[in-house]
Structure 1
């Protein structure tokens, strides 16, 4: 059985981890930012141990890089990892739509409608973090109604790089408005129980990110892992010697 002390320590550690992770994925801590264990401990008024544990957890998610005896910094966005996180998201969400259509209640559809209004309101106020949170909740309902909450939790814990790219895209004029329109299209198909159209709309909704990656990389080059440079030592000296 856990003692009160252990419960409190776990709560502190979780709080520090959650606050740091939220700051990273919402870009309050920009990619490449050096983070100090000591300074964060002072800010949260905790010992350095829960901060150190949070760094370890975040490093496993690829959100911070810990360089022993040197520094810890927020990781740059890795588009290779974004592609893998995107693949996971697309695979699970495409599969869950069929289950959603078979199980969704009126309450689920009512909340989806409300979220579209909340997204539009957040967009007018330029409340981009709220906009993304409502966006996430919109998709989360599909998983909850389909009794697949575990899959949603997996996506949440494995989508830090993908989330940061999504945050960057909505800073660009017009993209967020299109997101809301696409949500309307998805919801309309789901109400009609048209799985094929719902999946097609979802595919278009998710795949917009592919065309937007080059745009945001051009606008925020310092936020991304540099493209691999050509290996100057990979020299062709004419191939194998000819056999006589």
Structure 2
């Protein structure tokens, strides 16, 4: 059985008392699942969540229902609740949606990007390189997401990233699995740098190409994780 206490130490739930408990539980458990602190196939204890938050089962079940709707949790009546295994098909769908939207986003960003925006993106790349130097790979995905979210903001479609974030949960778990692949994140960092340089030149075609290369190469590495299989839902034959 997986303890959610370790996940809380990684990311504390929202401190605002106005945030409903069900929302807090949902956010914390979702984060732990995506970051693989709660590994695919592991048991989720409703009782432990109730004790941790000092709540009844109602908000816990509300949070788990939302996670089940996202296919991140499997609920089996009279049996138990489990972290779902990764669905390659759902991850691939998330990738296709993300790719289409980010290509649109990067082309729009070229129209609006400022020198201050370039400086901010370069700062994020420096943070990525620092993470690699420290070998703190578990921190990388946060900065990676900040980079792509910043581009969505520059494009003046900030809600686009919120939608992408919703559909890429299974993809994010594959991203986490692929992080230790030798040289992978170093290559990702250089791909990010190529995207920024194209933005700096205000060249939409180059920016689109750089984004395509980045997303397609990253997904190819992530797809190789499927061959391992232990954390993945296998297709029924």
Normalised to the residue count of structure 1, the TM-score between the two structures is 0.86
Partner of 2:221: 212
Equivalent residue, structure 1, for 2:232: 224
Q: Does 1:67 align with 2:76?
A: yes
Once the two structures are superposed, the pairs formed by residues 44-193 of structure 1 within 5 Å of their partners are: 44-193=53-202
Contact 2:86 2:173 in 1 (8 A): yes
- What is the CA distance between 1:8 and its match in structure 2? 5.0
Post-superposition offset of 1:214: 4.7
In terms of Rg, which structure is larger? 1
Shift of residue 228 of structure 1?
A: 3.0
Q: Which moved more, 1:154-163 or 1:43-52?
A: 43-52
Whole-angstrom distance in 1 between the partners of 2:143 and 2:223: 25
* Secondary structure in structure 2 of the residue aligned to 1:86: helix
Q: CA deviation at 1:210?
A: 3.9
Aligned-partner Cα distance in 1 for 2:223–2:199: 32
State the secondary structure of the residue aligned to 1:147.
coil
1:195 aligns with 2:223: no
Cα distance in 1 for residues equivalent to 2:201 and 2:71: 40
Aligned equivalent of 2:20: 11
1:212 deviates by 2.0
> Aligned-pair distance for 1:21?
0.6
- TM-score, L = length of structure 2: 0.88
Question: Are 2:88 and 2:226, in contact at CA under 8 Å, matched by a contact in 1?
Answer: no
Q: Find the aligned partners of 2:127 and 2:219 in 1 and give their Cα distance.
A: 26
Unaligned runs of 5+ in 1: 1-6, 230-244
User: What RMSD, in angstroms, separates the aligned Cα atoms of the two structures?
Assistant: 1.6
